[in-house]
Chains A and B, each alone.
Chain A
Amino acid sequence: MAKLLSFLYDKSNIVKWFFFALLIFIIVFDYFAERHAAHFFGDNIIGFWTIFGVFICLAMIIICKGLSHVWLMKGEDYYDN
């Protein structure tokens, strides 16, 4: 098992290209997905959840990390002093 993981780790370029291919496949798949009983406007837009995923992910990292750095983050011995 460790060998397999090491192999994949060494060939991380291939894994990366495989991942990008998967992303493209997923967008194409959305084009063919059957849409019924849409709950709101986003359900009718092809690739809406792609944009949603990337945007929310980036926003979450920036906002949470930002809040942490300017306000919430304290040294590990903060409560001991």
Chain B
Amino acid sequence: MITNIFIHPSTFFILGALLLPLLKKIKLDKIFLIAIPIIAMIQINFLPASFGVCEYLGFKLTFGKVDKLTYVFLHVFTLMSLIGCLYSMHVKDTGHHVAGLLYVGASLGVTLAGDYVTIFIFWELMAFASTFLIWYRRKKQSIEAGFRYLLVHMVGGLILLAGIFLRYKNIHDLSFTRIDVHAAGLAEYLIMIGFMLNAAVPPIHAWLPDAYPEATVAGAVFMCAFTTKTAVYVLARAFPGFEVLAILGAIMTIYGVAYAVIENDARRILAYHIVSQVGYMVCGVGIGTEMAINGACAHAYAHIIYKALLFMGAGSVLEMTGRSKLNELGGLYKYMPYALIFTVIGGISISGFPLTSGFVSKSMIVAAAGEHHRVGLMIMLLIASVGTFLSVGIKMPYFIWFGNKESDIQPKDPPWNMNVAMFIAAFICFFLGVYPDYLYKMLPYAVNYHPYTSYHLSESMQILAFTGFGFYLMVNKLKPDPKINLDVDWFYRKGTIAFMWLAKKPIAIVNDWVNEVYKTVGLKLTMSLAHAFSWFDKEGIDWTIDGAAENVVCGGGYLRNIQTGKIQHYIGGAVVLLFIVLAVIIF
């Protein structure tokens, strides 16, 4: 009975990750890399509503709790893992694949978790596994960025854990359910901060644009999909209708695009743009109406695919040229035309062109804000969509593939597996745009929204086309500079320098002084004590030990005589021993 299969979908990924090094020995690793996501994609359709409930240390753990909200995220995560595995298939580091699979497995674990302890375990595994996707780039900047990424996530994890402990102390219940706005106290807000860190809500977002551009080409494709979107999922599950999320989400959308407009590194532009896009989802969760939650889920689904497509496009340029900074690129349209087409498809989808997935998903959140009479939020979201098209839709492809200059390098289009992965993602972008019901049917609430009205078409086309016109007017002002821009990571990146100075200068001086004191006073004291102990050791302890050692040597001599080296003697001895044991037991 296929309906009875309720293996946790993470099991495939985690077992696969553990077995992958062995499978590589028999050259089956690539087949499994593709087979695992496909099996998971099929299997999530047959999950029961609840499974894997167990007691551990007095806590009731629920590894699997499935409803419509879970399903839509499971669906896109497994689909994305297939695209990601396909895209990274040519990577030779088995460790990279292991980290990728573990990362996906952990994010599925979070999505399915029914209690906070399970969430926390998978939450940490996610941070740990994804760090390796940064480190496998093997550059100095990547190693450093990886450490910063890991440390920031550990802090976030600890805040989450503190919240979980407090909540358990207050209500003695760890089940992961919707939290009422009026019942939320310190514990709940700590949990929310832990989640918001992974969703990259400013001012705790700087880890994302710091780390993602330093990850490996394929690693960034995985990372852009899972960490932030599991955070959106847990926020949507626990904190719908929290006003603070609506406001921070709307601010995020503009904050992210503002940096995307000025950044130089293609993958950093995309990373900042994740902040902006996740802002739409966080805002949707914060508005909290059925339509807004639907919009957040739909947007998460669409966003994972087109953002991955954009990262794949920019990544393929990095893979083939070794460059990702816009000022070093330009004129590639002659050499990498397919990567251009795919990236532009990602760009127009993210901007919400009609017939693409962004058009049917983003607008749902904007409309939900409008229907909830939140005009301020709605305008902010629309401002962000102008910036989206400006930065990711036009600026990035323009300066990589055109930029009004000839390319000084002649790269080829990327390997076939990368192209296939990009093709699949591009296809899904159009498929969802043309046939939105496929997505709408998966959403947690019934959808009563029609994206293709003449007014919505007119509104979108005006905003997008005239943003393009603005770009045309100002293209010279947007010329990329080989610079970086400060963000709030300044506080901990420069802060550590201050800390190191503190460690080197004042603390080192105190340390030296203590050393001097020790040399003059302590050392003499210690030496005389040592002499005293040495005398005691010689006269007292050695006498005892030596005596014991002599006895052992004597005993060893006797034992040597017994060991004849003949097997029959040993068997005889064993039998005698057996009889003695039997005798002891019987009598």
Contact = CB atoms under 8 A, between A and B. Distances in A.
Interface string A20-42: 00110011011011111001100
Given A50-B462, A57-B471, A64 B454 contact: no
Interface SS, A side: helix
Interface string B294-336: 0000000000000000000000000000000000000001110
A47 B462 contact: yes
Contacts of A40: 370, 375, 378
B254 to A, nearest CB: 9
A64 B469 contact: no
Nearest to A35: B455
A58 B455 contact: no
A65 B477 contact: yes
Contact of A53 (B259, B453, B466, B484): B466
B335 A2 contact: yes
A61 B461 contact: no
A32 B454 CA distance: 8
Nearest to B485: A72
B425 interface: no
Given A54-B466, A73-B483, A5 B473 contact: no
B470 A57 contact: yes
Interface in B478-528: 478, 481-487, 493-494
B387 interface: yes
Place the interface of chain A in its size category: 35 or more
B453 A34 contact: yes
B464 interface: yes
Contacts of A34: 453-455
B454 A33 contact: yes
B542 interface: no
Contact of A58 (B262, B333, B474): B474
Given A61-B470, A65-B261, A33 B458 contact: yes
B486 A23 contact: no
Contacts of B467: 53-54, 56-57
Contacts of B465: 22-23, 26, 53
B52 interface: no
Interface in B324-351: 333-335, 337-338, 340-341
Interface residues of B, number: 54
B202 interface: no
Contacts of A60: 257-258, 261, 383, 386-387, 390
Given A30-B458, A39-B375, A57 B483 contact: no
B466 A57 contact: yes
Contacts of A72: 262, 485-487
A17 interface: no
Contacts, number: 143
Nearest to A47: B462
B451 interface: no
Given A33-B457, A61-B470, A75 B337 contact: no
A54 B455 CA distance: 19
Contact of B386 (A35, A39, A57, A62): A57
B386 A56 contact: yes
Given A53-B386, A76-B482, A61 B474 contact: yes
B437 interface: no
B161 interface: no
A75 B483 contact: yes
Contacts of B464: 53
A3 B371 CA distance: 48
A53 B468 CA distance: 9
Contact of A49 (B373, B459, B470, B493): B459
A35 B494 CA distance: 53
> In this complex, which of A19, A52, A71 has the most chain B Cβ atoms within 10 angstroms of its Cβ?
A52
Given A6-B333, A33-B455, A65-B477, A23 B466 contact: yes
A29 B454 CA distance: 9
Contacts of A64: 258-259, 261-262
B469 A54 contact: yes
Contacts of A78: 484
B463 interface: yes
Nearest to B336: A2
A29 B458 contact: yes
Given A49-B463, A75-B483, A61 B261 contact: yes
Given A33-B454, A60-B387, A79-B493, A74 B462 contact: no
A2 B462 contact: no
A33 B453 CA distance: 9
Nearest to A73: B483
B402 interface: yes
A59 B453 CA distance: 29
Point out which of A2, A32, A35, A75 has the most chain B C-beta atoms below 10 A from its C-beta. A2
B382 interface: yes
Given A2-B334, A29-B457, A64-B262, 14 more contacts: A5-B333, A5-B334, A9-B402, A26-B458, A52-B386, A53-B462, A54-B466, A56-B383, A57-B467, A57-B470, A61-B477, A65-B261, A68-B483, A74-B485
Closest 4 CB pairs of A and B: A57-B470, A53-B466, A39-B370, A49-B462
12 contacts: A23-B466, A27-B462, A30-B458, A32-B454, A39-B378, A52-B463, A57-B471, A60-B261, A61-B470, A61-B477, A67-B262, A68-B485
